[in-house]
Homo-oligomer: A and B are copies of this chain.
Amino acid sequence: MKIVKTISEIRDIVKDWRKAGYSIGLVPTMGYLHAGHGSLIEQSVKNNDKTVVSVFVNPTQFGPNEDLEKYPRDIDRDSQLVESLGGDIIFNPEASEMYNTKNYTYITVQGLSEKLCGITRPTHFAGVCQVVSKLFHIVMPDNAYFGLKDFQQYVIIKTMVEDLNFPVKINPVNIVREESGIAMSSRNVYLTDDEKKSALSLSDTLKKASQLINNGEKNSKELIKQMQEFISSHPYTKIDYIKIVDINTLEDIAEIPDNNYAVLLAVYVGKTRLIDNFVQHS
């Protein structure tokens, strides 16, 4: 598996691919890849001639008291996974390669970035938009793949791409779950066995919420109350938010419509902050 460390090298490779007429897919990741990332890579490999997987723990999307230092890393294992799935190149720059000049420029997606995860992580999405726009400009992919577990991130990036006419198609990919139901996340590695049991309450409550909605519950407040009670009945849990929102504007919805809503939640389990959701498209 070829691992590229510099912007100039990946640019040269992509330039040759373009000349040869190849389509290019990009899967931006922070590494420590799991089956969720695997699903993104498979989609990209299937739909593009060449696939670049970026592995970069982007410092600018972590807050001062977050887990930048201890965020799990294993480039050898990542490399094996990308190879086994047919990816072509890992782009794995150092932070000094990505941020080599004093930065003045910020991208904000106003009205979408401040909500939900943006409340506890006020600079997070500015960091995400920064690194994603840099990666898009460096790799110039035709397609980029984002997991729907980070639903707010997906909406923000899709909106940024539309607003600024980036020449890339944003492809959402469904959440991949462990056998237990828990959503795949690199941060699951932080959980103790006991915490993992409590973490199951996230996917369990989403399943129940979906059933309740299908059975006719349309009142968001009532549904959220039941979800809160369920999650809080599990030890180690502390709810950050549970929200039912419009999938485009991320605005709260009082009465649940037939389509185009998402049920989103963020919960601390021990010290680990986990997110999960389900999305009802039209």
Contact = CB atoms under 8 A, between A and B. Distances in A.
Interface of A: 7, 11, 18-19, 21, 101, 103-112, 130, 133-134, 137-138, 140, 159-160, 162-167
Main secondary structure of the interface of A (DSSP, over half): mixed
B105 A160 contact: yes
For A104, A112, A134, A159, the residue with the greatest tally of chain B CB atoms inside 10 Å of its CB is: A104
B111 A137 contact: no
Please tell me how many copies of the chain the complex holds. 2
Contacts of A105: 107-110, 159-160, 163-164
Given A106-B108, A107-B105, A107-B106, A137 B159 contact: no
A60 B188 CA distance: 44
18 contacts: A7-B165, A11-B167, A18-B18, A101-B162, A101-B163, A104-B109, A104-B160, A105-B107, A105-B108, A105-B160, A106-B107, A106-B108, A107-B164, A108-B108, A130-B164, A134-B165, A137-B166, A138-B165
Contacts of A162: 101
Contacts of A19: 21
A260 to B, nearest CB: 16
A106 B130 CA distance: 12
A163 B108 contact: no
Nearest to A138: B165
Contacts of A108: 105-106, 108
Contacts of A112: 104
For A7, A101, A130, A162, the residue with the greatest tally of chain B CB atoms inside 10 Å of its CB is: A162
A108 B129 CA distance: 13
A104 B163 contact: yes
A109 B110 CA distance: 16
A61 to B, nearest CB: 15
Nearest to A133: B164
A130 B160 CA distance: 11
A137 B167 contact: yes
A34 to B, nearest CB: 28
A19 B18 CA distance: 9
A137 B163 contact: no
A154 B11 CA distance: 25
